[in-house]
Structure 1
Amino acid sequence: MSVSVAVTGATGRMGRAVIDAASARADVEVAAAVNRDPEGGDDAVAGVPVAPTQEFDALLRERDPDALVDFTGPESSQNYVAVAAEAGVASVVGTTGFDDRGEAALRELAEYAPVLKASNFARGVQALLGAVESAVADLPGYDVEVTETHHNGKRDAPSGTANTILDEIESAREETTERVHGREGDQPREPGEIGVHARRAGNVTGEHEVLLAGKHEEVRLTHRAENRGVFAEGALDAAVWLAGRQPGWYDFADVLGGEQ
């Protein structure tokens, strides 16, 4: 039995990738696809009709999908998840850039329907997080710098994945003091700080590097995504796993960990 999904932002970079990935899988079908402004753009992606956002509520009632897959923007994502939660539809959220209030709003909606939010759906990134935690714990006192690179249209900086990596570092090393974003002028490194650098260029899908440097050695941990399909596949894996679960807040690590 396949899991049916509704895809928002269907004509965007990630929306297209999700629909393309779903079309190649036997365990997933796209029940509905919407986009904020389909006028003047494509009215179908990979043979899937794309409706305007205004029809999202009606489509959920009509098609009754098992899960929503959302890679849009913080405000629109919150609205989509609210509609899905009211309809009892699970939500997989890959949108980043939420502020604390937006994140709290999503967590409230998880009381009514299952919500799985992740800053990155690449399995390799989950492995990277584990490696970063171990390396930071094993190398106390080493300077830490985090650099991320994305395409020139990405809005939030640092990326959601970079912020997740930074959270992991701070959790593993209590003596961290602050995140320093870029450097200019007279700025020698202070003890405990973490350097953070965001680069936007071309059509880079996504690259994250953690540098740990001591006096006579350095360790570099890097993840590079070659294609958005890796994020789409992970999001669909999450949708299959999440469908039919009880309301609550879930993470991609739950999917990979095989939590029942």
Structure 2
Amino acid sequence: MIKIIMHGCNGHMGQMISGLVKEDPEAEIVAGIDICDNRQNDYPVFTDIRACHVEADAVIDFASPKAEEALLDYCVERKLPVVVCTTGLSEEQIQKVKDTSEKVAVLRSANMSLGVNTLLKLLKEAAKVFAPAGFDMEIVEKHHKYKVDAPSGTALAMAGSLNEALDNAYVYKYDRSQERKARDAKEIGISAVRGGNIVGEHDVIFAGTDEVVTFSHTAYSKAVFGKGAIQAAKFLAGKAPGLYDMSDVING
């Protein structure tokens, strides 16, 4: 049985994962870390990460970017593999994630869903066909009104898949409100919608002359992300230092 420390245990995703793990005979949450200890949990919760000395096999991180540096330092100190699910990280924090992966196993993914990670592969193949044929590429993502980062990490990952397939020759365009000119052929537009309780919707649009092809993914529950995070923790436990992603989990 894998023993997990839940970083951000009292947040929405932390509580969801806690519930999922209760039903999983192969996993157990042995401790939680959160600046707010305002819920009843079946495991001890530490408001100071440095005070947590519970033995574990991996950490799942669904917290605030503000807590990321302290978490990564903690994992290096304790030689704990970590599944980084927190989005909205700065370039400096992303670099620290990469540096940390040289010392412990780190799995970072903008989206833990099996469907999204399969779609990322398909988008690379589609971009190689449609972009040279003159199709414009646009991404529209929709999330609930409480999501603070925009565009979503998943939208950026989708844009990255498109760009990687095209030798990173394209630029990202987030806002056209101050421009009065035709669209650049080598740009990937990314638009964010925030409202209601939308869990997560992503459309990748290939718009050509006289035809449009759209790839869509809709998450109806955040449980899909929690299940993926648990599978990632099981995969990561015992792994050598390195930077992993969900494609490694999918491929076994």
- Fold shared by both chains (TM-score > 0.5): yes
The answer for the alignment partner of 2:22 in structure 1 is 23
How do 1:54-203 and structure 2 match up within 5 A?
A: 54=48, 56-59=49-52, 61=53, 63-139=54-130, 140=132, 141-174=134-167, 176-184=169-177, 186-203=180-197
Separation in 2 of the partners of 1:108 and 1:178?
26
For structure 2, list consecutive stretches of 5 or more residues without a partner in the other structure.
none
One-letter amino acid matched to 1:95: T
Question: Alignment partner of 1:232: what SS?
Answer: helix
**Is the CA contact 1:176–1:194 (under 8 Å) kept in the aligned structure 2?**
no
The answer for the alignment partner of 1:253 in structure 2 is 247
Separation in 2 of the partners of 1:224 and 1:79?
33
Separation in 2 of the partners of 1:214 and 1:248?
40
**Is the CA contact 1:10–1:50 (under 8 Å) kept in the aligned structure 2?**
no
Identity %: 32
Separation in 2 of the partners of 1:158 and 1:176?
20
Aligned length: 249
TM-score (norm 1): 0.91
The answer for the alignment partner of 2:7 in structure 1 is 8
**Is the CA contact 1:85–1:113 (under 8 Å) kept in the aligned structure 2?**
yes
Separation in 1 of the partners of 2:8 and 2:121?
31
One-letter amino acid matched to 1:199: V
Separation in 1 of the partners of 2:19 and 2:231?
14
One-letter amino acid matched to 2:66: E
Separation in 2 of the partners of 1:174 and 1:106?
24
Separation in 2 of the partners of 1:90 and 1:177?
34
How far does residue 102 in structure 1 lie from its aligned partner after superposition? 0.7
TM-score (norm 2): 0.94
Change (3 A) 1:24 1:175: closer
**Is the CA contact 1:175–1:192 (under 8 Å) kept in the aligned structure 2?**
no
Please say if 1:228 is aligned against 2:222: yes
**Is the CA contact 1:71–1:77 (under 8 Å) kept in the aligned structure 2?**
no
How far does residue 144 in structure 1 lie from its aligned partner after superposition? 0.6
**Is the CA contact 1:207–1:223 (under 8 Å) kept in the aligned structure 2?**
yes
Change (3 A) 1:80 1:175: closer
Question: Alignment partner of 2:201: what SS?
Answer: strand
RMSD, aligned α-carbons = 1.5
Separation in 1 of the partners of 2:69 and 2:168?
35
The answer for the alignment partner of 2:199 in structure 1 is 205
Question: Alignment partner of 2:24: what SS?
Answer: coil
One-letter amino acid matched to 2:21: A
